[in-house]
Structure 1
Amino acid sequence: MINVLCFGDSNTNGSNPAGGRHPRDVRWAGRLQRLLGDDWYIIEEGLGGRTTVFDNPIEPHRNGLAALPGALITHRPLDYVIISLGTNDMKAMFHADARVIAAGLDMLVHEVKITDNRGAPMPRIVVVSPIHIKPGISTSGFIGFDEHAVELSHQLAGEYRRVAEREGCLFFDAAQVAEPSDLDQLHMDGANHAKFADAMAKLLRDDWAARH
């Protein structure tokens, strides 16, 4: 099977802007599994509040760099690792600009490269620049965001693309195909999970076909 680790935050976990969590068949990882079929194994590893490298004292255990090695070792050998993080790095408490957030992403990419893949070749890495945050986030229920995060979310794709090109990764700009709901300015509804999954399925299929 072609093993794909989806390592992300609440939009990978499937937080529903209307409350609760989307069912697995609505979440983009679950839809991706259906689209790609039985030859592929999609591993969903999303956690709300997860950052690239930052420790959040209000929400502990959200540091992506601390969690990624265990996930890589647990599920190896892996063919693809999709890294979909950065939104939570935009919280004001971290004082991180787009270049700093991209540097955190680069550390995650490096972690994938240095982790033994149980003798298999290093997995292909897909760098995902997250969907844009909508205005009004500072008055939402999500502690830590101010309105500057809206502007910052539009600056991230260029920095992420540079990391992907430098490190030989695939690049996917989620904001080109999906957006958050007006209900909470942050999370995708079912229709946008579907758009994300459809585009990701095409990227993976095309890349696999080109290399095999």
Structure 2
Amino acid sequence: MPIRNVIDALAAGGVKLIAMRCAGYDRVDVKAAETQGIKIVRVPTYSPESVAEHAVALAMALNRKLHLAYNRIWQGNYTLSGLEGTEVHGKTVGVVGTGSIGACFCAIMKGFGCSVLATDVAANPRCVDMDVTYMPLEELLAKSDIVSLHCPLLPSTFHMINKERLEMMKPTALLINVSRGGLIDSDALVDALESGQLGGAGMDVYENEGDQHWGPLRHLAIGQV
């Protein structure tokens, strides 16, 4: 992450622009850059359909235990025990954050025949037109079979999925995160998975990934996507 000392070094080297290959600004010290006269640009919308489809792929792989089946086949083990999944059709899906990516995710899950719930600071008209039902986060967590996070990492969203909120979820629920690792309290997530409080977790982000510290999430490679 370009923090103040890195920003100062870049400025000393004559850098005038930092181009972020992501939608958010959370990976750069914006105030330090402003002080040094360095502009920051980002990619506000990059293929939201692709990101939404990736989130769906994680949910489907996790639900049908595809990652475990793949490993078994390579080991010459063709048993089906423990690989049973459930139909996604008819399930309740909760979407946290209904911007461009979240709205695409809602549309896909509607196509699967799911009931879609959402929570956000403001309702997206596109989602409203799809009959997505908005409600408080706590209510959404309690009702959803799949919860997918599609929101930025802000002081208000840091560890928004914590021990207390994980306990609100169904023990069979699946949690998907393709947004920012800091949205989830990693220690609480691992505890929930190991205790059976949560059915599974699929993610392509984790806390402190920039420092390459897996921390407690190393356990997720055993049985989760």
TM-score of the alignment, normalized to the shorter chain, above 0.5: no
Structure 2 length as normaliser, TM-score? Answer: 0.32
Normalising by structure 1, report the TM-score: 0.33
Largest Rg, 1 or 2: 2
- State the structure with bigger RCO (CA 8 A, min sep 6), 1 or 2: 1
